[in-house]
């Protein structure tokens, strides 16, 4: 799991410089964690979930559905920060947010039985903060991704590969540009 922080996206040329350092840090962390926990016994089992939600905007008159590019605004609101049962964080794009429980689940059957209720509660807690024609959806890929006017607000993609993510179909405005996702 990656904890995203405020920052700016890096280009591939900038990222390549850090690859050896990141790989070395990962190896060192693994060895450290292995040595620290290899003899641990009778430790309580905790687990959790995280769900990536896609935000959608419906225009019923035009009969179209668009990806809603408002994750930064939504997540900065005091209402989202005040939700006690779950934590919300940004994803790579402005149309996605990640929801997870604030506290881990344990090893009892009760925890297994209540997870679906937590899913419903999480979605219910964020719904009032969306507009009347906006919803959260858990979907692998949006069917209109890359088509004209597939986002709300709508942005035209550069006909040349963009600097940030090298796409001729998706404008950089669809990315969460304040996040150092690649560090």
pTM, whole model, 2 decimals? 0.75
Tens place of pLDDT for every residue, the chain, 183 residues? 455 566 677 788 888 999 999 999 999 999 999 999 888 888 888 999 999 999 999 999 999 999 999 999 999 999 998 998 899 999 989 999 999 999 999 988 888 889 999 999 999 999 999 999 999 999 999 999 989 999 999 988 776 655 666 777 888 788 876 555 433
DSSP three-state, residue 134: strand
**pLDDT tens, position by position, 108-143:** 888 888 999 999 999 999 999 999 999 999 999 999
**Residue-range domain boundaries for the chain:** 51-174
- Count Cβ neighbours within 10 Å for each residue of 43-66 and write b for 16 or more, e otherwise: eeeeeeeeeebbbbbbeeeeeebb
Phi–psi pair at 159, nearest 5 degrees: -75, -10
């Amino acid at each position: 799991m990656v904890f995203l922080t405020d920052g700016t996206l890096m280009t591939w040329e900038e990222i390549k410089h850090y690859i050896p350092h990141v790989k070395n840090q990962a190896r060192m962390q693994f060895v450290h964690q292995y040595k620290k926990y290899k003899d641990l016994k009778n430790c309580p089992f905790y687990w959790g979930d995280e769900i990536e939600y896609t935000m959608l905007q419906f225009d019923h008159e035009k009969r179209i559905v668009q990806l809603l590019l408002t994750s930064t605004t939504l997540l900065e609101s005091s209402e989202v920060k005040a939700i006690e049962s779950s934590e919300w964080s940004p994803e790579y794009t402005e149309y996605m947010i990640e929801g997870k429980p604030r506290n881990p689940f344990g090893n009892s059957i009760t925890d297994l039985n209540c997870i679906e209720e937590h899913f419903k509660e999480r979605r219910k807690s964020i719904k009032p903060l969306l507009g009347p024609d906006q919803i959260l959806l858990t979907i692998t890929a949006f069917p209109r991704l890359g088509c004209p006017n597939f986002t709300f607000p709508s942005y035209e993609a550069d006909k040349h590969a963009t600097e940030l993510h090298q796409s001729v179909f998706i404008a950089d405005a669809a990315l969460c540009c304040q996040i150092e996702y690649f560090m």
